[in-house]
Structure 1
Amino acid sequence: MLADPSTQALIAADGWFAVITGGLGLLCGGVAWFAARRFMLPVLLGLGAGGVVGALLTLWTGSTFTIGAVMVEAAVMPDVKVVPGALALTAPGVLVSWPLLAVGLFGLLEGMHGYQESPLRHPYGDLP
Protein backbone atom coordinates (compact mmCIF):
# COMPACT_ATOMS: atom_id res chain seq x y z
CA MET A 1 0.00 0.00 0.00
CA LEU A 2 1.20 3.49 -0.74
CA ALA A 3 1.57 5.81 2.22
CA ASP A 4 0.32 8.73 0.12
CA PRO A 5 -2.31 7.58 -2.40
CA SER A 6 -2.46 11.06 -3.96
CA THR A 7 1.13 10.82 -5.17
CA GLN A 8 1.97 11.72 -8.75
CA ALA A 9 3.77 8.41 -9.24
CA LEU A 10 0.41 6.73 -9.83
CA ILE A 11 -0.57 9.29 -12.45
CA ALA A 12 2.84 9.03 -14.11
CA ALA A 13 2.60 5.24 -14.30
CA ASP A 14 -0.81 5.45 -15.96
CA GLY A 15 0.45 8.15 -18.33
CA TRP A 16 3.46 6.13 -19.41
CA PHE A 17 1.27 3.10 -19.98
CA ALA A 18 -1.06 5.17 -22.18
CA VAL A 19 1.86 6.65 -24.14
CA ILE A 20 3.55 3.28 -24.75
CA THR A 21 0.38 1.41 -25.72
CA GLY A 22 -0.90 4.37 -27.74
CA GLY A 23 2.33 4.47 -29.73
CA LEU A 24 2.09 0.75 -30.37
CA GLY A 25 -1.52 1.23 -31.48
CA LEU A 26 -0.52 3.92 -33.97
CA LEU A 27 2.23 1.67 -35.30
CA CYS A 28 -0.15 -1.28 -35.67
CA GLY A 29 -2.84 0.84 -37.35
CA GLY A 30 -0.40 2.28 -39.88
CA VAL A 31 1.15 -1.09 -40.71
CA ALA A 32 -2.29 -2.71 -41.03
CA TRP A 33 -3.51 -0.03 -43.42
CA PHE A 34 -0.48 -0.25 -45.67
CA ALA A 35 -0.31 -4.06 -45.60
CA ALA A 36 -3.90 -5.32 -45.72
CA ARG A 37 -6.44 -2.66 -46.57
CA ARG A 38 -8.18 -4.97 -49.06
CA PHE A 39 -9.79 -6.87 -46.18
CA MET A 40 -11.31 -4.00 -44.20
CA LEU A 41 -13.60 -5.71 -41.72
CA PRO A 42 -11.27 -8.56 -40.68
CA VAL A 43 -8.38 -6.10 -40.30
CA LEU A 44 -10.46 -3.73 -38.16
CA LEU A 45 -11.72 -6.57 -35.98
CA GLY A 46 -8.16 -7.84 -35.63
CA LEU A 47 -6.89 -4.38 -34.70
CA GLY A 48 -9.56 -4.00 -32.03
CA ALA A 49 -9.24 -7.47 -30.51
CA GLY A 50 -5.46 -7.56 -30.89
CA GLY A 51 -5.18 -4.14 -29.28
CA VAL A 52 -7.16 -5.27 -26.24
CA VAL A 53 -5.07 -8.45 -25.92
CA GLY A 54 -1.86 -6.46 -26.43
CA ALA A 55 -2.83 -3.91 -23.76
CA LEU A 56 -3.69 -6.66 -21.28
CA LEU A 57 -0.42 -8.44 -22.04
CA THR A 58 1.47 -5.18 -21.57
CA LEU A 59 -0.32 -4.64 -18.24
CA TRP A 60 0.54 -8.15 -17.10
CA THR A 61 4.19 -7.77 -18.15
CA GLY A 62 4.56 -4.38 -16.49
CA SER A 63 2.99 -5.50 -13.23
CA THR A 64 4.86 -8.80 -13.06
CA PHE A 65 8.41 -7.83 -14.01
CA THR A 66 10.16 -4.73 -12.73
CA ILE A 67 13.64 -3.35 -13.19
CA GLY A 68 14.44 -2.50 -9.59
CA ALA A 69 12.13 -1.55 -6.76
CA VAL A 70 9.72 1.35 -7.04
CA MET A 71 10.40 3.96 -4.37
CA VAL A 72 7.55 6.30 -3.48
CA GLU A 73 8.18 8.96 -0.87
CA ALA A 74 5.27 9.92 1.35
CA ALA A 75 4.39 13.61 1.30
CA VAL A 76 3.31 13.73 4.94
CA MET A 77 6.40 12.05 6.39
CA PRO A 78 9.53 13.04 4.45
CA ASP A 79 11.80 10.32 5.89
CA VAL A 80 9.45 7.40 5.20
CA LYS A 81 9.88 5.46 1.96
CA VAL A 82 7.46 2.77 0.86
CA VAL A 83 8.70 0.01 -1.42
CA PRO A 84 5.62 -1.93 -2.58
CA GLY A 85 7.08 -3.48 -5.74
CA ALA A 86 5.67 -2.91 -9.20
CA LEU A 87 3.32 0.01 -9.81
CA ALA A 88 -0.25 -1.02 -10.54
CA LEU A 89 -2.50 0.56 -13.12
CA THR A 90 -4.98 2.78 -11.28
CA ALA A 91 -6.89 4.11 -14.30
CA PRO A 92 -8.24 1.11 -16.23
CA GLY A 93 -9.51 3.42 -18.95
CA VAL A 94 -6.02 3.67 -20.45
CA LEU A 95 -6.35 0.04 -21.54
CA VAL A 96 -8.32 1.24 -24.58
CA SER A 97 -5.54 3.50 -25.89
CA TRP A 98 -3.98 0.73 -28.03
CA PRO A 99 -7.14 -0.47 -29.84
CA LEU A 100 -8.67 3.01 -30.03
CA LEU A 101 -5.65 4.62 -31.68
CA ALA A 102 -5.04 1.62 -33.97
CA VAL A 103 -8.60 1.59 -35.32
CA GLY A 104 -8.72 5.40 -35.39
CA LEU A 105 -5.57 5.75 -37.48
CA PHE A 106 -6.73 3.00 -39.83
CA GLY A 107 -10.04 4.81 -40.32
CA LEU A 108 -8.35 8.18 -40.81
CA LEU A 109 -5.97 6.83 -43.44
CA GLU A 110 -8.77 5.00 -45.22
CA GLY A 111 -10.97 8.10 -45.14
CA MET A 112 -8.24 10.26 -46.67
CA HIS A 113 -7.45 7.65 -49.32
CA GLY A 114 -11.12 7.06 -50.11
CA TYR A 115 -11.74 10.79 -50.49
CA GLN A 116 -8.92 11.11 -53.04
CA GLU A 117 -10.42 8.38 -55.22
CA SER A 118 -14.07 9.36 -54.70
CA PRO A 119 -16.17 10.55 -57.65
CA LEU A 120 -17.90 12.90 -55.20
CA ARG A 121 -14.71 14.92 -55.06
CA HIS A 122 -15.43 16.15 -58.59
CA PRO A 123 -19.26 16.23 -58.79
CA TYR A 124 -19.27 18.00 -62.19
CA GLY A 125 -16.65 15.82 -63.78
CA ASP A 126 -13.59 17.53 -65.13
CA LEU A 127 -15.28 20.84 -65.99
CA PRO A 128 -13.22 23.92 -65.04
Structure 2
Amino acid sequence: MRHLRGNLTTLVTTVLALALLGVAAGFVWSALAPVSQYVITDTGPELVDLETQTLIQADGWFAVVGLVCGLLSGVAAYLLARRRPVAALLGLAGGGLLAGYIALLVGSSAKGTIHASGPGGVATTASLGLTAHGVMFAWPVAATGIFWVVEFVVTYRLRGQA
Protein backbone atom coordinates (compact mmCIF):
# COMPACT_ATOMS: atom_id res chain seq x y z
CA MET A 1 0.00 0.00 0.00
CA ARG A 2 2.86 2.37 0.81
CA HIS A 3 4.45 1.65 -2.57
CA LEU A 4 1.19 2.48 -4.36
CA ARG A 5 0.81 5.70 -2.38
CA GLY A 6 4.36 6.75 -3.28
CA ASN A 7 3.76 6.09 -6.99
CA LEU A 8 0.50 7.99 -6.93
CA THR A 9 2.14 10.91 -5.13
CA THR A 10 4.93 11.00 -7.73
CA LEU A 11 2.42 10.89 -10.58
CA VAL A 12 0.16 13.63 -9.21
CA THR A 13 3.06 15.86 -8.16
CA THR A 14 4.62 15.59 -11.62
CA VAL A 15 1.35 16.42 -13.39
CA LEU A 16 0.65 19.41 -11.12
CA ALA A 17 4.19 20.76 -11.44
CA LEU A 18 4.03 20.55 -15.22
CA ALA A 19 0.61 22.21 -15.27
CA LEU A 20 2.08 25.18 -13.40
CA LEU A 21 5.04 25.23 -15.77
CA GLY A 22 2.52 25.27 -18.64
CA VAL A 23 1.25 28.66 -17.47
CA ALA A 24 4.76 30.11 -17.64
CA ALA A 25 5.36 28.45 -21.01
CA GLY A 26 2.21 30.07 -22.36
CA PHE A 27 3.48 33.52 -21.46
CA VAL A 28 6.89 32.75 -22.96
CA TRP A 29 5.26 31.55 -26.19
CA SER A 30 3.11 34.66 -26.26
CA ALA A 31 6.19 36.85 -25.90
CA LEU A 32 8.21 35.05 -28.59
CA ALA A 33 5.65 34.29 -31.29
CA PRO A 34 4.60 36.93 -33.81
CA VAL A 35 0.91 37.61 -34.28
CA SER A 36 -0.88 37.80 -37.59
CA GLN A 37 -2.50 41.01 -38.73
CA TYR A 38 -6.17 40.72 -39.63
CA VAL A 39 -8.77 43.09 -41.00
CA ILE A 40 -12.27 42.61 -39.72
CA THR A 41 -14.71 43.03 -42.60
CA ASP A 42 -18.40 42.35 -43.09
CA THR A 43 -17.59 38.73 -43.98
CA GLY A 44 -15.37 38.20 -40.94
CA PRO A 45 -11.65 38.44 -40.17
CA GLU A 46 -9.27 38.22 -43.12
CA LEU A 47 -5.47 38.18 -43.15
CA VAL A 48 -3.97 41.52 -44.15
CA ASP A 49 -1.05 39.77 -45.87
CA LEU A 50 -2.06 36.47 -47.47
CA GLU A 51 1.57 35.41 -47.79
CA THR A 52 2.45 35.95 -44.13
CA GLN A 53 4.52 33.34 -42.34
CA THR A 54 3.40 34.36 -38.85
CA LEU A 55 0.99 31.43 -38.49
CA ILE A 56 3.81 28.97 -39.17
CA GLN A 57 6.19 30.89 -36.92
CA ALA A 58 3.71 30.73 -34.05
CA ASP A 59 3.56 26.94 -34.43
CA GLY A 60 7.35 26.77 -34.55
CA TRP A 61 7.79 28.85 -31.41
CA PHE A 62 5.22 26.71 -29.61
CA ALA A 63 7.22 23.61 -30.58
CA VAL A 64 10.50 25.19 -29.41
CA VAL A 65 9.03 26.24 -26.06
CA GLY A 66 7.48 22.78 -25.65
CA LEU A 67 10.75 21.00 -26.49
CA VAL A 68 12.80 23.11 -24.08
CA CYS A 69 10.26 22.66 -21.28
CA GLY A 70 10.05 18.96 -22.05
CA LEU A 71 13.81 18.50 -21.89
CA LEU A 72 14.07 20.42 -18.62
CA SER A 73 11.14 18.63 -17.01
CA GLY A 74 12.39 15.22 -18.16
CA VAL A 75 15.81 15.75 -16.59
CA ALA A 76 14.25 17.18 -13.42
CA ALA A 77 11.86 14.22 -13.15
CA TYR A 78 14.74 11.79 -13.53
CA LEU A 79 16.78 13.52 -10.85
CA LEU A 80 13.85 13.78 -8.42
CA ALA A 81 11.90 10.59 -9.09
CA ARG A 82 14.23 8.00 -10.59
CA ARG A 83 13.22 5.46 -7.95
CA ARG A 84 9.68 5.51 -9.36
CA PRO A 85 10.31 5.57 -13.12
CA VAL A 86 6.89 4.34 -14.25
CA ALA A 87 5.02 6.92 -12.18
CA ALA A 88 7.43 9.64 -13.30
CA LEU A 89 7.02 8.70 -16.97
CA LEU A 90 3.24 8.59 -16.71
CA GLY A 91 3.34 11.98 -15.00
CA LEU A 92 5.62 13.37 -17.71
CA ALA A 93 3.39 12.09 -20.50
CA GLY A 94 0.08 13.19 -18.99
CA GLY A 95 1.47 16.33 -17.41
CA GLY A 96 3.26 17.28 -20.63
CA LEU A 97 0.01 17.05 -22.59
CA LEU A 98 -1.82 19.05 -19.94
CA ALA A 99 0.98 21.63 -19.78
CA GLY A 100 0.94 22.03 -23.55
CA TYR A 101 -2.80 22.60 -23.51
CA ILE A 102 -2.50 25.12 -20.68
CA ALA A 103 0.32 26.89 -22.54
CA LEU A 104 -1.94 27.10 -25.59
CA LEU A 105 -4.80 28.56 -23.55
CA VAL A 106 -2.60 31.07 -21.71
CA GLY A 107 -0.57 32.10 -24.76
CA SER A 108 -3.59 32.47 -27.01
CA SER A 109 -5.35 34.72 -24.52
CA ALA A 110 -2.31 36.90 -23.77
CA LYS A 111 -2.32 38.74 -27.12
CA GLY A 112 -4.92 40.34 -29.34
CA THR A 113 -5.79 44.02 -29.35
CA ILE A 114 -7.38 46.41 -31.83
CA HIS A 115 -4.76 48.71 -33.32
CA ALA A 116 -6.63 50.98 -35.72
CA SER A 117 -9.78 51.31 -37.75
CA GLY A 118 -10.08 52.31 -41.37
CA PRO A 119 -12.60 52.49 -44.18
CA GLY A 120 -12.01 48.84 -45.21
CA GLY A 121 -12.64 47.49 -41.72
CA VAL A 122 -11.01 47.39 -38.33
CA ALA A 123 -7.36 46.33 -38.31
CA THR A 124 -6.54 44.01 -35.43
CA THR A 125 -4.07 41.41 -34.30
CA ALA A 126 -5.59 38.08 -33.53
CA SER A 127 -4.82 35.99 -30.52
CA LEU A 128 -2.22 33.30 -31.04
CA GLY A 129 -3.32 29.89 -32.10
CA LEU A 130 -1.98 26.70 -33.57
CA THR A 131 -2.47 25.55 -37.12
CA ALA A 132 -0.33 22.42 -36.69
CA HIS A 133 -1.82 20.72 -33.67
CA GLY A 134 0.87 18.04 -33.65
CA VAL A 135 3.23 20.46 -31.91
CA MET A 136 1.16 19.84 -28.78
CA PHE A 137 3.09 16.56 -28.47
CA ALA A 138 6.51 18.23 -28.39
CA TRP A 139 6.52 18.59 -24.60
CA PRO A 140 5.55 15.03 -23.56
CA VAL A 141 7.67 13.38 -26.26
CA ALA A 142 10.76 15.41 -25.31
CA ALA A 143 10.19 14.86 -21.58
CA THR A 144 9.75 11.09 -21.77
CA GLY A 145 12.49 10.75 -24.38
CA ILE A 146 15.13 12.58 -22.35
CA PHE A 147 14.09 10.63 -19.24
CA TRP A 148 14.87 7.37 -21.03
CA VAL A 149 18.10 8.71 -22.53
CA VAL A 150 19.39 9.77 -19.12
CA GLU A 151 18.27 6.44 -17.63
CA PHE A 152 20.13 4.55 -20.36
CA VAL A 153 23.32 6.57 -19.96
CA VAL A 154 23.35 6.20 -16.17
CA THR A 155 22.60 2.47 -16.14
CA TYR A 156 25.07 1.85 -18.98
CA ARG A 157 27.83 3.50 -16.95
CA LEU A 158 26.86 1.52 -13.85
CA ARG A 159 27.01 -1.74 -15.78
CA GLY A 160 30.43 -0.82 -17.11
CA GLN A 161 31.74 -0.26 -13.56
CA ALA A 162 30.50 -3.61 -12.26
Q: TM-score range by the shorter chain?
A: 0.7 to 0.9
Equivalent runs, 1:97-112 vs 2, <5 Å: 97-112=138-153
* Structure 2 residue aligned with 1:18: 63
TM-score by length of 1: 0.77
Q: Is the partner of 1:117 in helix, strand or coil?
A: helix
**Where is the strand percentage greater, Structure 1 or Structure 2?**
2
User: How far did residue 88 of structure 1 move?
Assistant: 1.4
User: How far did residue 69 of structure 1 move?
Assistant: 3.9
Q: Is the partner of 2:129 in helix, strand or coil?
A: coil
TM-score by length of 2: 0.62
The partner residue of 2:73 within 28, 50, 67 is 28
User: How far did residue 83 of structure 1 move?
Assistant: 2.0
Unaligned runs of 5+ in 2: 1-44, 116-120
The structure with the larger Rg is: 1
Letter of the aligned partner of 1:109 in structure 2? V
**CA separation in 2, counterparts of 1:13 and 1:31?**
27
Contact 2:70–2:140, Cα closer than 8 Å, also in 1: yes
Identity over aligned pairs, percent:
39
Residue 44 in structure 1 maps to residue 89 in structure 2: yes
Larger RCO, structure (CA 8 Å, separation 6 or more): 1
**CA separation in 2, counterparts of 1:101 and 1:70?**
36
C-alpha distance 81-101 of structure 1, shift in aligned 2 (>3 A): farther
Contact 1:21–1:97, Cα closer than 8 Å, also in 2: yes
C-alpha distance 70-99 of structure 1, shift in aligned 2 (>3 A): farther
User: How far did residue 64 of structure 1 move?
Assistant: 1.2
**CA separation in 2, counterparts of 1:88 and 1:40?**
34
Contact 2:108–2:129, Cα closer than 8 Å, also in 1: yes
Letter of the aligned partner of 1:102 in structure 2? A
**Where is the helix percentage greater, Structure 1 or Structure 2?**
2
Contact 2:109–2:128, Cα closer than 8 Å, also in 1: no
Question: Alignment length, in residue pairs?
Answer: 112
Unaligned runs of 5+ in 1: 72-79
C-alpha distance 107-22 of structure 1, shift in aligned 2 (>3 A): same
**CA separation in 2, counterparts of 1:14 and 1:85?**
14
**CA separation in 2, counterparts of 1:48 and 1:5?**
37
Equivalent runs, 1:1-128 vs 2, <5 Å: 1=45, 2-66=47-111, 69=113, 82-118=123-159, 121=160
Letter of the aligned partner of 2:89 in structure 1? L
* Structure 1 residue aligned with 2:23: none
